[in-house]
Amino acid sequence: MNNTAYFPGCSLKAEASDYERSAAAVMEALGQPLEELERWTCCGTVYSLTDDDLMHQLASVRNLIRAQECGAEEIVTLCSMCFNTLKRSKVFIEQDAARLETVNAFMDEEPDYEGGIEVFHLLEILRDQVGFESIEGRVTRPLSGLRVAPYYGCTLLRPREIGIDEPDTPMILQDFIRTLWATPVEFAFQAECCGTYQIVDTPEMVLEKSHRILSSAMRAGAEVMVTSCPLCMHNLRLCYEELRSSLPEKRELSIVYWTQLAAIAFEVETGELPASMDKLLEGLPTSMELVR
């Protein structure tokens, strides 16, 4: 891994702490521990679409400055939304020297942002820098036979300029699932939006979307669904509980972070897993059992 600063984002320190714990353990196991950025601030949460409102770029740019200050070349995130916001901000601000100058002039208490700090999602780092093959080499408990649905949501893939894979035919999660010896289960709504913050004001819309996503995955035979976004996780788990009776299959679906899946296969700290996941794992031999 290059000189990389890890940007957690707020959710990872609160509701999504299992995501961070499992990711930290996985990266430790790969010999590339996450180094947390100092004095990071919220990414801005949702990328601002107003072209003339530079105020909403400050949060992201300030984090790029923090990375620059500590001599990092790139920022890596776990949360898809943080990734999306930071990367789009970076692109937007670096596209136009006038914008960068305005933002730098406003933040006169900070050193100028000079541009060039790259923003990556951890999945990209694993694919392009670490290499999926070295992940496969670290697996001690192969997840053979486990049927895993890759749920991308939107912010990892769209807009195209910043996405980590082809927006319509992404493969990165499937490839990753295969490196853990599990079986990817493709389904129609894997890049459908979960409904995001509409959960607050129009939960019925989020329920409808989630129903579609969950049913589609279950019909395709998934036992597990992985996501990389704390907000997707929040919505999917909430809706899964609400919709249980109306879902097509009696069988349970375990929704976990993709890093938790890797942590299981590496036999390191996974963070808390849903009870149904523990049940699924009962049938999978551990490394000790394999040796015997």
Partner 1 sequence: MSIPSENTIRIYVMGSAYEVPRGLTIMDAMEHAGWRFTRGAGCRSGFCGACSTVYRHEGDYRLRFVLACQTEAEDGMYLVQLPFTPAPRVSYTLAALNPDENVLLQHYPEIARCVSCNTCTKACPQDIEVMDYVQAALRGDIAQTASLSFDCIQCGLCSMRCPADIKHYHMAQMARRVYGRYMSPITEHLEERIVEIEKGVYAEEVDALVKMTRGELEEIYAARVVE
CA distance 38 to 66: 7
CA distance linking residue 143 with residue 180, whole number of Å = 6
Residue 132 contacts partner 1 per CB under 8 A = no
Among 4, 26, 37, 62, binds partner 1 (CB under 8 A): 62
106 scored as a contact of partner 1 (CB under 8 A)? yes
- How many residues lie near partner 1 (CB under 8 A)? 20
Let me know: does 209 contact 226? Beta carbons within 8 Å: no
User: Which range binds partner 1 by CB under 8 A, 104-112, 181-189, 221-229, 261-269?
Assistant: 104-112
> E strands along the chain, which residues?
4-7, 74-77, 118-121, 147-150, 183-184, 224-227, 254-257
Residue 42 or 243: the one with the smaller Cβ distance to partner 1 is 42
Report the candidate in 227, 149, 216, 132 with the shortest Cα–Cα distance to residue 184: 149
Verify binding: residue 58, partner 1, rule CB under 8 A: yes
**Of the candidates 28, 32, 35, 45, which one interacts with partner 1 according to CB under 8 A?**
45
Q: Give the nearer residue to partner 1 in terms of CB position, either 40 or 151.
A: 40
Please identify which residue in 14, 49, 98, 291 interacts with partner 1, judged by CB under 8 A.
Answer: 14
Q: Measure the CA–CA gap between 63 and 38, rounded to whole angstroms.
A: 9
Q: Which residue has the tokens 């509701």?
A: 15
256 forms beta bridges with 226
> Residue 53 or residue 241: which is nearer to partner 1 going by CB?
53
Q: Which of 224, 234, 225, 265 has the alpha carbon at shortest distance from 18?
A: 234
Burial environment of residue 143 by CB neighbours within 10 A (0 to 12, 13 to 18, 19 or more): buried
Closest contact distance (angstroms) between CB of 208 and partner 1 is 26
Select 174 or 235, whichever has its Cβ closest to partner 1: 235
Site for partner 1 (CB under 8 A): which residue of 55, 70, 188, 288? 55
| Residue 242 three-state SS | helix
- Rounded least distance, CB 190 to partner 1, Å: 29
Position 13 contacts partner 1 (CB under 8 A)? yes
For partner 1, the closer CB: 20 or 252 = 20
Phi first, then psi, for residue 179 (nearest 5°) are: -65, -20
Among the candidate windows 67-75, 101-109, 151-159, 171-179, which touches partner 1 by CB under 8 A? 101-109
Contact 77, 45 (CB under 8 A): no
Q: Rule CB under 8 A: choose which of 39, 212, 244, 279 binds partner 1.
A: 39
- List the interface residues with partner 1, window 147-176 (CB under 8 A): none
The DSSP letter of residue 77 is E
Record the tokens describing residue 78, joined without a space: 């776990």
Based on the shown chain and the rule CB under 8 A, indicate whether residue 56 belongs to the binding site for partner 1: yes
What residues make contact with partner 1 under the rule CB under 8 A? 8-10, 13-14, 39-42, 44-45, 55-56, 58-59, 62, 106-107, 109-110
